[in-house]
Amino acid sequence: MELLIFNKDTWQEIVYTIRQNRMRSLMTVFGVFWGIFMLIILIGTGKGLQNGAYSSFESYATNSFFIWARNTTKPYKGFGIGKKFNFTNDDTRVLRTTVPQIKALGPRSRIRGETGFNNVVYKDKTATLTIYGDEPEIRDINLMEITKGRFINRLDIEQKRKVAVIGLESLPLLFTGGQDPIGRYIRISGVEFQVVGVFRLPNKNDDRYEENSKAVFLPLSSFQQTFNWGEIVGWYSVNVKSGYDAEQVKKKVRQILARRHHVAPNDIRAFGSWNMAAEFKKMSDLFTGIRFLIWFVGIFSLLAGIIGISNIMLIVVKERTGEIGIKRALGATPVSIMSQLIFETLILTSLPGYIGLVMGVGVLEIIDRILVFLRTDTQMFENPQVDFYAALATLAVLTLGGVIAGIIPAFRAVQMKPVDALRQ
Amino acid sequence: MPHISKNNKILSLKNVYKTYLQGKNHIPVLRGITLTVRAGEMVSIMGSSGSGKSTLLNIIGLLDDYDQGEYLLNGTLMGKMNESKAARLRNRHLGFVFQSFHLIGFKTALENVALPLFFQKISRKKRNQKAMEYLDRLGMAQWANHLPNELSGGQKQRVAIARAMIADPSVILADEPTGALDSTTSLEVMKVFKEINAQGITLVVITHERDIAAMTDRIVFLQDGVIQTDE
Ligand SMILES: Nc1ncnc2c1ncn2[C@@H]1O[C@H](COP(=O)(O)OP(=O)(O)O)[C@@H](O)[C@H]1O
Ligand SMILES: [Mg+2]
């Protein structure tokens, strides 16, 4: 048997159907096209916004938090409010040994580069750069790429080595074209440090990219010595083992630190903190919601289109009752009449739907090209796309919808006796 | 269906009743029809409007069902059957010609003629070839690629007759085939029918014109759902 799709009669009837109700069919067919097109655009836009938003988190392990010391806001153990306190190397040791939920603890200190400060010098060149004191663990929290040499290691910390890892972006400020910085000595606040590595930040969408991509990393111990910080630690970056709630671990860390520094147990505001995990979850929840909304709206507009097609087919069946009667008199079985009608409906839905899908993906591609071309540093929107499965799901919904839309008209078509159909 | 020899009872109705239900009213249309048509006969059915001629022909053509009695098509009882089986029987054994032609408007003459073979799932090439042959037989070859609305009434009916013949039916049923044609064209169509009949195909023709009926072997006269005369 000739397959319906290769059959000239099938296509003849589809063309005839459209011609017979030109305006109505074109509007309905356009409805399906538009439904799919918009669904794809919405999915792509949602994905683009999501990519944009997620990318600002890309420089960090998301299951992490930061905690720093502020001034006390409650009197405790004879101290008044406003007591200053600092984290110390002892705190680091205690936290590392007593909180098993911590995957990596990064004690950090920082001196921010301020304009005109010119704190870093190489030969006759000077630059104003932010200086970090860090331990190797920081690499489990702040994601960076070492493009040359190495990062700070345990021995650097233990031996308070005067070594530095500098940002790829800061190289042009200190070294003339193409000079290999590794092994050279730079002066930071009058102290010489040997460059042992160069890093690069992977994510330009980070708020702090401008500053941090030009930073200098020193071993925390050397930092404390050079800048006379003693045992002081600026803040902790903490990566929590997966499966543990960052908020709970943060609470525990805060309790330990409060006890050690004689801060009232309920003096929450004595600590500053930022829970990356919670922020990330908030955002991923938001995007889950957006995605749900998009599919909800999309499916319903698609459904409206499919119902429209079904209606058109009902009208077609009604108008062609006589013709169906003729065919039945000549020997068309109900099954063949029905399958022809269902196939027609399927074509009327899936063809415009498929075009909508292709055009939607095309438009997203063009938007993406334009974004890349403009090199917008906007964090809002990035790489709008429809993944393969979403496209597949859309096609499945469409096909299923087309078949369902055809079923009622098809049944209607063979409901009558041939003689009654012929009488029309 | 086995080979049909002359004198075989190709159509046999015994006491066939048919009542239409209109709202709450039962309208008896056929009230005990007993009729036998032998293979190769050419029979006309006459009667006033509303006497049940079309109803009878539709029952014979398996387009409608009957309430009581027996109808045998070439010896096989046609009782209640599903639509697929009826469609198959119509396709293989029956040809139809109607007063209003019933050609499909967006199909060419050739495609219209080929339609019964399409439902036999015969390939496009073969069915078009055969359709062309039948159109040629009816002198319509040069109109093969025209749409029905480009044809005159007589030409349309020739196309319809070609379509009725293409599947080699044993019986052709025609419901007032000349009703929409002028007298000259009517006579031409009847001549075609006579030729077809001469090839051994049984013909049942409804008409209310005496001279048309006179061209057949036998005239059955229907009145109020019963056979008045059979001559
Ligand atoms: N589907 C139907 N429903 C109700 N009444 C019908 C139907 N078909 C035919 N009739 C009635 O049956 C009678 C016979 O109709 P028909 O067989 O078409 O007569 P004829 O062809 O001899 O003019 C008429 O009175 C007609 O109104
Ligand atoms: Mg009639």
Check B96 against A329: CB less than 8 A apart: yes
The single residue listed with the structure tokens 């921010």 is A112
Q: What 3-state class would DSSP assign to B180? A: coil
Q: Mean pLDDT, to the nearest integer, of A234-238? A: 93
Domain ranges of chain B: 9-230
Residue having the nearest C-alpha atom to atom 24 of ligand 1: B50
The count of CB pairs under 8 A between chains A and B is 71
Separation CA A338–CA A409 (nearest Å): 8
Q: Mean pLDDT, to the nearest integer, of A346-355? A: 86
A13, A414, A422 member nearest B83 (Cβ):
A414
Residue having the nearest C-alpha atom to atom 17 of ligand 1: B52
* HEC assignment per residue over A92-131: HHHHHHHCCCEEEEEEEEEECCCCCCCCEEECCEEECCCE
Confidence of residue A375 (pLDDT cuts 50, 70, 90): low
Number of C-beta neighbours around residue A39 at 10 A: 26
Element containing residue B63 per DSSP (H, E): none
Which tokens is B57 given? 């022909």
Q: Mean pLDDT, to the nearest integer, of A157-171? A: 93
Predicted confidence at residue B7, as pLDDT, reads: 58
From the list B2, B4, B68, B62, the residue with the least C-alpha distance to B30 is B68
- The counts of H helices and E strands in chain A are 13, 14
ipTM above 0.90, yes or no: yes
A1, A9, A12 member nearest B121 (Cβ):
A1
Q: At B176, phi and psi to the nearest 5?
A: 45, 60
Question: Nearest C-alpha of chain A: how many angstroms from B118?
Answer: 9
Cα–Cα distance list, A72 to A88, A115, B62 (Å): 17, 32, 98
Is any Cβ of chain A less than 8 angstroms from the Cβ of B167?
A: yes
Q: Among A201-205, A409-413, B87-91, which is the least confidently predicted range?
A: A201-205
Secondary structure percentages of chain B, helix, strand, coil, to 5: 35, 30, 35
Residue having the nearest C-alpha atom to atom 2 of ligand 1: B20
| Cα distance between the two ends of chain A | 31
Q: Radius of gyration of chain B from Cα atoms? A: 17
Which residue from A minimizes the CA distance to B95? A330
Is residue A252's pLDDT more than 90? Answer: yes
Separation CA B87–CA A118 (nearest Å): 96
Question: Nearest C-alpha of chain A: how many angstroms from B74?
Answer: 18
Question: Nearest C-alpha of chain A: how many angstroms from B124?
Answer: 9
Is residue A111's pLDDT more than 50? Answer: yes
pLDDT tens figures, A12-36: 777 877 777 778 778 878 888 888 8
Maximum alpha-carbon separation in chain B: 52
Is any Cβ of chain A less than 8 angstroms from the Cβ of B121?
A: yes
Q: Mean pLDDT, to the nearest integer, of A106-130? A: 86
Predicted confidence at residue A32, as pLDDT, reads: 85
Q: Mean pLDDT, to the nearest integer, of A214-224? A: 94
Which tokens is B230 given? 């059979």
Probe site for chain B from A10, A19, A328, A330 (most B CB atoms < 10 A): A330
Confidence of residue A349 (pLDDT cuts 50, 70, 90): confident
A323, A328, A331 member nearest B104 (Cβ):
A323
Atom of ligand 1 minimally distant from the CA of B51:
22
Is residue A5's pLDDT more than 60? Answer: yes
pLDDT tens figures, A266-292: 898 999 998 888 888 888 888 889 888
pLDDT tens figures, B162-214: 999 999 999 999 999 998 889 999 999 999 999 999 999 999 999 988 999 99
In chain B, which residues have their Cβ closer than 8 Å to the Cβ of A423?
A: none
**Is residue B74 lining ligand 1, measured as CB closer than 6 Å?**
no
Residue having the nearest C-alpha atom to atom 7 of ligand 1: B20
pLDDT tens figures, A291-338: 888 888 888 887 888 888 888 888 888 888 899 999 999 999 999 899
Q: How far is the CA of A38 from the centre of ligand 1 (A)?
A: 53
Confidence of residue A387 (pLDDT cuts 50, 70, 90): confident
pTM of the model: 0.70
Q: Which residues of chain B have pLDDT under 50?
A: 1-2
Which residue from B minimizes the CA distance to A17? B106
| CATH topology (fold) of B9-230 | Rossmann fold (3.40.50)
Is residue A211's pLDDT more than 60? Answer: yes
Contacts (Cβ under 8 Å, ≥6 apart) of A402: A306, A309, A345, A346, A347, A348, A349, A350, A353
Is residue A395's pLDDT more than 70? Answer: yes
Predicted confidence at residue A258, as pLDDT, reads: 93
Q: Mean pLDDT, to the nearest integer, of A371-392? A: 72
Q: Radius of gyration of chain A from Cα atoms? A: 34
Q: At A276, phi and psi to the nearest 5?
A: -60, -40
Which tokens is A177 given? 């074209």
Confidence of residue A1 (pLDDT cuts 50, 70, 90): very low
Nearest ligand atom owner, CA of B98: 2
Confidence of residue A199 (pLDDT cuts 50, 70, 90): very high
